């Protein structure tokens, strides 16, 4: 069982608010990811990191930002939330190197912007 935790699980906020989604893992993985899952179920990689002080943009452009100050922690921030940001956000982690490594997912953060 994966040890990767996301908070909050569910959040409803008003337009223009700043929000940070927290993600922590206890597996010592160097690589971490954020995926956005739209209501139609599709998953899109929006950010990833392969270690402390590294962040990269994923395949889908996102207005969110991420930071990686500690290995175990990979928060995602929206400076000014909009209804178009309503989605589920999934954090994940894996070991670095090799395409066969399993990626472990957290339970997700459901964000609704009203």
Partner 1 sequence: GNSVTQMEGPVTLSEEAFLTINCTYTATGYPSLFWYVQYPGEGLQLLLKATKADDKGSNKGFEATYRKETTSFHLEKGSVQVSDSAVYFCALSDPMNYGGSQGNLIFGKGTKLSVKP
Q: Which residues bind partner 1 (CB under 8 A)?
A: 6, 31, 33, 40-43, 45, 48-50, 54, 56, 58-59, 90, 92, 94, 96-108
Least distance in angstroms from the C-beta of 68 to partner 1: 12
In sequence order, what are the beta bridge partners of 22?
A: 7
For partner 1, the closer CB: 18 or 57: 57
Least distance in angstroms from the C-beta of 27 to partner 1: 14
H helical segments located in 1-114: none
For partner 1, the closer CB: 12 or 96: 96
Least distance in angstroms from the C-beta of 32 to partner 1: 11
Q: Any residues with CB less than 8 A from the CB of 58 and at least 6 apart, and which?
A: 33, 34, 35, 44, 45, 46, 47, 48
Least distance in angstroms from the C-beta of 50 to partner 1: 4
From 78, 95, 61, 63, select the one nearest 22 (Cα to Cα).
Answer: 78
- What's phi and psi for 66, nearest 5 deg? -135, 165
For partner 1, the closer CB: 84 or 99: 99
């Amino acid at each position: 069982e994966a040890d990767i935790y996301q908070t909050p699980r569910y959040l409803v906020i008003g337009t223009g608010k700043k929000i940070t989604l927290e993600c922590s893992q206890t597996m010592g993985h160097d690589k971490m990811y954020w995926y956005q899952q739209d209501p139609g179920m599709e998953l899109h990689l929006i950010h990833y990191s392969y270690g402390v002080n590294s962040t990269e943009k994923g395949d889908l452009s996102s207005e969110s930002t991420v930071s990686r100050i500690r290995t175990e922690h990979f928060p995602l921030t929206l400076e000014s939330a909009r209804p178009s940001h309503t989605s589920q956000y999934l954090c994940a982690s894996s070991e670095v190197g090799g395409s066969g490594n399993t990626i472990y997912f957290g339970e997700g953060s459901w964000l609704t912007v009203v």
